Amino acid sequence: MHHSLVLFLPDTMDLIQASFHPHELYNLLKFKLGGGRHVIPKQDFSSLSPVAQKCYFYLQKTSRSFSAVIQALDGDLRHAVCIFYLVLRALDTVEDDMTIPNEEKVPLLQTFHEKLELNGWSYTKSNEKDKAVLEDFPVISEEYRGLAEGYRVVISDITKRMGHGMSEFIEKEVVTMADWDLYCHYVAGLVGIGLSRLFSASSLEDAIVGEDTELANSMGLFLQKTNVIRDYLEDSLEGREFWPREAWCKYGKKLTDFQNLSKLPQAVHCLNELINNALRHVPDVLVYMSRLKNQSVFNFCAIPQVMAAATLAKCYSNPQVFSGVVKIRRGEAVGLMMEATDMPSLRRIISNYSSQLEAKIPRDDPNFILTHQMCLVIQDLCPPVNDRLARLYYWGRLFNVLVIIMAILMYFMFT
How high is the pLDDT of residue 30? 56
CATH number, domain with residue 221: 1.10.600.10
Q: Identify whether the C-beta of residue 256 lies closer than 8 Å to the C-beta of residue 243.
A: no
Confidence of residue 8 (pLDDT cuts 50, 70, 90): very low
Please give the Cα distance from 219 to 36 (Å, whole number).
24
For residue 194, being part of any structural domain is answered with yes
How high is the pLDDT of residue 195? 98
Domain span at residue 140 reads 45-414
**What is the number of domains present in the chain?**
1
Is pLDDT at 2 greater than 70 in this prediction?
Answer: no
Q: Identify whether the C-beta of residue 322 lies closer than 8 Å to the C-beta of residue 259.
A: yes
pLDDT 10s digits, 44-103: 667 789 999 999 999 999 987 778 889 899 999 999 999 999 999 999 999 999 899 999
Q: Average pLDDT, whole number, for the chain?
A: 87
End-to-end CA distance of the chain: 43
Confidence of residue 21 (pLDDT cuts 50, 70, 90): very low
How high is the pLDDT of residue 46? 73
Name every residue whose Cβ is closer than 8 Å to that of residue 160 and which is 6 or more positions away in sequence: 112, 113
Instruction: Please choose, from the candidates 204, 208, 119, 213, the residue with its C-alpha nearest in 3D space to the C-alpha of residue 157.
Output: 213
Q: Identify whether the C-beta of residue 120 lies closer than 8 Å to the C-beta of residue 138.
A: yes
Is pLDDT at 115 greater than 90 in this prediction?
Answer: yes
Is pLDDT at 171 greater than 90 in this prediction?
Answer: no
Mean pLDDT of 125-135: 95
For residue 132, being part of any structural domain is answered with yes
For residue 182, being part of any structural domain is answered with yes
For residue 331, being part of any structural domain is answered with yes
For residue 298, being part of any structural domain is answered with yes
pLDDT 10s digits, 355-385: 999 999 999 999 999 999 999 999 999 976 5
- How is 272-337 classified by DSSP, letter by letter? HHHHHHHHTTHHHHHHHHHT---HHHHHHHHHHHHHHHHHHHHHTT-GGGGTS-----HHHHHHHH
For residue 367, being part of any structural domain is answered with yes
List active site positions: 183, 230, 240, 300
Region of residue 317 (left: phi > 0; alpha: psi -120 to 50; beta: else) = left
Is pLDDT at 408 greater than 80 in this prediction?
Answer: no
For residue 13, being part of any structural domain is answered with no
Is pLDDT at 299 greater than 90 in this prediction?
Answer: yes
**In this prediction, what percent of the chain has a pLDDT beyond 90?**
73
For residue 14, being part of any structural domain is answered with no
- What's the pTM? 0.86
